[in-house]
Structure 1
Amino acid sequence: MSISPFWHCCSGDRKPALSADPANRVLLLEAGGPDSNPWIHIPVGYFKTMHDPELDWCYRTEADPNVADRRIDWPRGKVLGGSSSLNGLLYVRGQREDYDRWAALGNRGWRYADVLPYFRKSEDQEHGANEYHGVGGPLKVSDLRLRRPIAEHFIAAAKDIGIPFNEDYNGATQEGVAYFQQTAFKGFRWSTAKGFLKPARRRPNLIVETRAQTCRVLFEGKRAVGVEYLQDGQRRKARARVEVILAAGAIGSPQLLQNSGVGPTTVLAKAGVALRHALPGVGRNLQDHLQVRLVFKTRERTLNDEVNHPLRKALIGLQYALLRTGPLTLAASQVTIFTRSRPELARPDIQFHMQPLSADKPGKGAHRFSAFTSSVCQLRPHSRGSVEIRSNDPLQYPAIHANYLSDERDHRVVIDGIKVARRIAAAPSLAPHIISEFVPGAQYRSDDELLQAARQFSQSIYHPAGTCKMGSDSMAVVDDRLRVHGLSALRVVDASIMPELVSGNTNAPTIMIAEKAADMILEDRKQAPGTQEIRGSKEARAEVALAV
């Protein structure tokens, strides 16, 4: 979740965001604390920050019969910068067809041609500006500062089987194999808190409250007038003169709406929450990228050997301290592939994340043998899940039903994705360096067995989206200006508004959504300068209240 463009500084021809205008008073409520933990700023620090309850909400899905009754960890950032402070730093925009599809679903202004300027606006691209990339924006985007031989062999193997090398998968076309671009600068993570929020903190019209967990939206009739939040053990209220913006992510935003009496009537009744406004789509349409992780033992030494050797581990730390290079600058993966699970498809439908190391699951220690990981995910899953509150207690975690692989159309894609991974491993450039397939193992051969492997050896890539989807159909929650249907002065601005999941990692698209939303909010305010003002309250603190 990244909402930072609401308050960022402006420069050059950049349009001002909310707090750049001193006439706008903006209150930001962050449930977590400041981004002061040093591991946040070291790129590989996600191995330390994930699963740390001080920084991570530590969500888990409900037991899912479609993935061997497992509960899947869903880390989400609980700190300034949100998940951009503990994600894998991978900068991926998706495919132009994703956004054209959003527009075709009835969302005006969301075509690729409409959103590309916002991707460029936020970006400070290491290689300079061109038709697809921008410079001077708050978000640093750079190349990886780490190369390992096994990654080169993997790239060569992909080319062996006909996958072209792509210098820029965020450019004219996404398809191909490439080194990842990352949100980092000179060896440091570049979170939205660092890039967007930090320069704006000096503004007197921006108030940032940390460890302030929003509990519910306050209404007068059908109008949002503020929020109730918990801070220092006390329930407090913040009143908003113009509007309330929810940016709590694909789990938090539907939870807040439901706890405020906005959502499916059956869910609210079961939880004991009084109905304020019936919206059946709140919490529905949940989508996520499920990755099947293949691990291959190798003859070639990998990062496993470096991080498990005391002396080499010390040298890694020294290299980072002196040069800001080496394994501590590692993003979640080194190499990506966007390709087709079957050649007859019109565009890539699977993505690979290749890591020159291996572990039982993300955030855990590396295996004690040489190995690499080749994860493959379906880019546009058909399976849908839900987020539902369990009670009227806003502090109780909601039930997350991922429903992975519940749609049979997804079965063919994950089976074929594993087959593509094995074709790469068997290619001439890589096969001599591989000893064996460690996970899931060569014993899984038939389609039924490969589907079983997918159910047993899969993990989330942590891209939940869609639970407050944008649109005009009966299950839509917000319109194409991100205003909640049937209510006034209330918007949702985060990955939950995606009607369909983008074809890739979600951090960059979420930042784009926030950039575009900031402009829309300012435009709408100019058209309605007489917005109702709340008077006579000691708690009136801001024109815009941002609940993250």
Structure 2
Amino acid sequence: MKEEFDYVVVGAGTAGCVLANRLTEDPDVRVLVLEAGASRIPAEVDDPTAWHRLLDGRIDWKHRSVPQPGLNGRITHEPRGRAPGGSSNLYLMMHVWGHPSDYDNWAHQGAAGWSYREVRPYFERLATRPAADAGQGGPNPASEAFLDACAERGFPRAADFNEGVMSGAGWHRLDIADGRRRGALASYLEPALGRPNLTLRTSAQTIGLTVIGDTCVGVEYLQRPEPPEATGRQVRDTHAEHPRPGVHQVRATREVIVAGGAIESPKLLMLSGIGNPDRLRAQGTAVKVGLPGVGENFHNHVLTAVMTESRTAVPAPRQNLSESALFTSSVPGLTGPDLQLAFVHAPFDPAVGERHPNTVSILPGVVRPASRGWIRLAHGDALAKPLVNPNYLADRSDLERLVQGVKLARDIIGTSAFSPWNKQELWPGPTVTTDADLRAFVRRTADSYHHHGGSCRMGTDDMSVVDPQLRVYGVRGLRVADASVMPAVPSGNCHSAVLMIAERAADLVKAEPLPAYLRKGTSYA
């Protein structure tokens, strides 16, 4: 291996940007970040109202699910970011920590050190944006009407979803400043790119981990030419030129940290011989470490939409199009909310929007899903996309709770407070009346909430992939730090939780003593 760095970070997404920043705070540490996406960032990334135009575009991996039995066999689009900044370029900019019980449950399931009390300082480290009602230009009046309608239905006002009792209706805190998106690219990666000890390589897709004996000593990656047709502002490392196109190897003298996200991270482990031994052998992959949990436990929040044409002209888009929400529980007595109803002052479905542009939407979502799916290799080709199975609505409780969320959204739309914005219901529509009708509607329309996680689960049991320090079982010098390590996705928009994981991962890495094999001066060819 001709090149050496102390740390190699695979992926410049949300977690990778944090790691790049925090690890290079030590000027004596050399960090390489490999990003499969190109260096140019579309202008729409900076516009908080334009997120929907980025989905399925050139900075989206464009993953598709396998046919979903719970959705009548439909194939769903599963967006994941492919550019510096990753999925933080695509997300809706809600700054939601999740409920304290989310993290206490992680600790109860074996993730010692990840209770709410222990992770809260990392959330507090994040830059907290003001609530939407204090944002530039003020909130959309339809968003205010939604909150008034929730109050009319008896729901309490939540002053801050991240403090105190999460349940209730309130304004989102938004990762927006001066009218621009403040994702991981702007907040973490770009401020660090001036450091001489950070090297970023774009259009560089990691295709394998180099494991010798029981130690990960580096990675293999494919360097592509930068696409000449790409437009937008460029994110470029000023300290090193890109290598020539082709396959390259690089050594990590301390650790490799995989931060590819809940779809790409398990794929890379499996490609490298870390996973379910029987499946790896069946595809002709040599088994390095048998970890049957790799790719399992994959899950996602699931949502649908209730849309109504408005009597009142809906003002032009503001902020992120979704400033307010309701968090509530499907039954009394739960430790935290399992339903989220996000208000969007725009049509959720583009086809409906073409016919009825003056439309607003409520998005009921199940944010503590019981259904679990998987990520698996389609075959041994490192550049092939993996098989993605969120297994939506496989558990009956997810279906029934989503139906309940649709009923609740209809109740809110039917209030006097919301009447100026309710001319006629477009989705599900007046012909959908019975529970059977609603179940059929939900199966026909439910979709990804874009909150993937769980596929390299943290814990201590036989199906865990990483330990509570995020170290991959059975392999020295290798960690995973992204949404894939979550035992369960938190009950809210999970971008802030990914930032928290990466902040804590950086501290764990910094606290790790120099490996014994490195102290001894062992050389790996």
Amino acid in the other structure paired with 1:18:
L
Of 21, 29, 34, 2:34 maps to 29
Counterpart for residue 194 of structure 2 = 202
Gapped runs of 5+ residues in structure 2?
1-12, 225-244
Counterpart for residue 227 of structure 2 = none
Amino acid in the other structure paired with 2:79:
P
Q: Write the distance in 2 (CA, Å) between the matches of 1:526 and 1:120.
A: 29
Q: Does 1:444 align with 2:432?
A: yes
1:36-115 matches, cutoff 5 A? 36-52=41-57, 54-115=58-119
Of 233, 245, 252, 2:264 maps to 252
Q: Does 1:294 align with 2:299?
A: no
Q: Write the distance in 1 (CA, Å) between the matches of 2:339 and 2:118.
A: 25
Cα-Cα RMSD: 2.2
How much does 1:77 deviate? Answer: 0.7
1:317-354 per-residue CA deviation (whole Å, 9 max, x = no partner) reads: xxxxxxxxxx3x53151211101223454432100111
How much does 1:250 deviate? Answer: 0.2
Counterpart for residue 341 of structure 2 = 352
Q: Write the distance in 1 (CA, Å) between the matches of 2:152 and 2:335.
A: 21
Amino acid in the other structure paired with 2:213:
G
How much does 1:24 deviate? Answer: 1.0
How much does 1:516 deviate? Answer: 0.3
1:151-170 matches, cutoff 5 A? 151-170=143-162
How much does 1:535 deviate? Answer: 4.1
Matched-pair contact (CA < 8 Å) for 1:242–1:531: no
Counterpart for residue 510 of structure 1 = 498
How much does 1:37 deviate? Answer: 2.1
1:354-433 matches, cutoff 5 A? 354-360=343-349, 367-431=355-419, 433=421
Relative distance call for 1:143 and 1:532 in structure 2 (3 A) is farther
Amino acid in the other structure paired with 2:45:
I
Which deviates the most, 524-533 or 431-440?
524-533
How much does 1:125 deviate? Answer: 4.0
Matched-pair contact (CA < 8 Å) for 1:289–1:379: yes
1:344-390 per-residue CA deviation (whole Å, 9 max, x = no partner) reads: 5443210011111104259x965534211100111110000000001
Of 177, 188, 194, 1:185 maps to 177
Q: Write the distance in 1 (CA, Å) between the matches of 2:420 and 2:155.
A: 20
Matched-pair contact (CA < 8 Å) for 2:340–2:367: yes
How much does 1:531 deviate? Answer: 4.8
Relative distance call for 1:207 and 1:352 in structure 2 (3 A) is same
1:379-425 per-residue CA deviation (whole Å, 9 max, x = no partner) reads: 11000000000111010000111111101222221121111111111
Matched-pair contact (CA < 8 Å) for 1:145–1:187: no
Q: Does 1:238 align with 2:250?
A: yes
Gapped runs of 5+ residues in structure 1?
9-16, 128-139, 307-326, 538-548
Amino acid in the other structure paired with 1:278:
G
How much does 1:533 deviate? Answer: 5.2
Matched-pair contact (CA < 8 Å) for 2:129–2:174: no
Please state whether the residue corresponding to 1:404 is helix, strand or coil.
coil
Please state whether the residue corresponding to 2:479 is helix, strand or coil.
strand
Q: Write the distance in 1 (CA, Å) between the matches of 2:295 and 2:433.
A: 37
Counterpart for residue 133 of structure 1 = none
Relative distance call for 1:511 and 1:532 in structure 2 (3 A) is farther
How much does 1:33 deviate? Answer: 1.8
Q: Write the distance in 2 (CA, Å) between the matches of 1:384 and 1:360.
A: 26
Q: Write the distance in 2 (CA, Å) between the matches of 1:72 and 1:518.
A: 34
Q: Write the distance in 2 (CA, Å) between the matches of 1:409 and 1:226.
A: 44
Which deviates the most, 509-518 or 523-532?
523-532
Matched-pair contact (CA < 8 Å) for 2:95–2:128: no
Amino acid in the other structure paired with 1:349:
D
How much does 1:143 deviate? Answer: 4.0
Q: Write the distance in 2 (CA, Å) between the matches of 1:532 and 1:256.
A: 29
1:248-282 per-residue CA deviation (whole Å, 9 max, x = no partner) reads: 00000000000001111232123221111111110
How much does 1:88 deviate? Answer: 1.1
Relative distance call for 1:118 and 1:141 in structure 2 (3 A) is farther
Matched-pair contact (CA < 8 Å) for 2:169–2:326: yes
Q: Between the two proteins, what is the percent identity of the paired residues?
A: 34
Matched-pair contact (CA < 8 Å) for 1:297–1:434: yes
Relative distance call for 1:94 and 1:280 in structure 2 (3 A) is same
Relative distance call for 1:87 and 1:431 in structure 2 (3 A) is same
Counterpart for residue 230 of structure 2 = none
1:265-321 per-residue CA deviation (whole Å, 9 max, x = no partner) reads: 232123221111111110000110110111111212225xx5xxxxxxxxxxxxxxx
How much does 1:190 deviate? Answer: 0.8
Counterpart for residue 5 of structure 2 = none
Relative distance call for 1:490 and 1:410 in structure 2 (3 A) is same
For normalisation by structure 1, the TM-score amounts to: 0.86
Relative distance call for 1:160 and 1:220 in structure 2 (3 A) is same
Matched-pair contact (CA < 8 Å) for 1:481–1:517: yes
Please state whether the residue corresponding to 2:56 is helix, strand or coil.
coil
Relative distance call for 1:340 and 1:408 in structure 2 (3 A) is same
1:508-547 matches, cutoff 5 A? 508-525=496-513, 531=519, 535=523
For normalisation by structure 2, the TM-score amounts to: 0.89
Matched-pair contact (CA < 8 Å) for 2:95–2:129: no
Which deviates the most, 31-40 or 388-397?
31-40
Of 121, 124, 131, 1:120 maps to 124
Matched-pair contact (CA < 8 Å) for 2:175–2:181: yes
Q: Write the distance in 2 (CA, Å) between the matches of 1:165 and 1:292.
A: 24
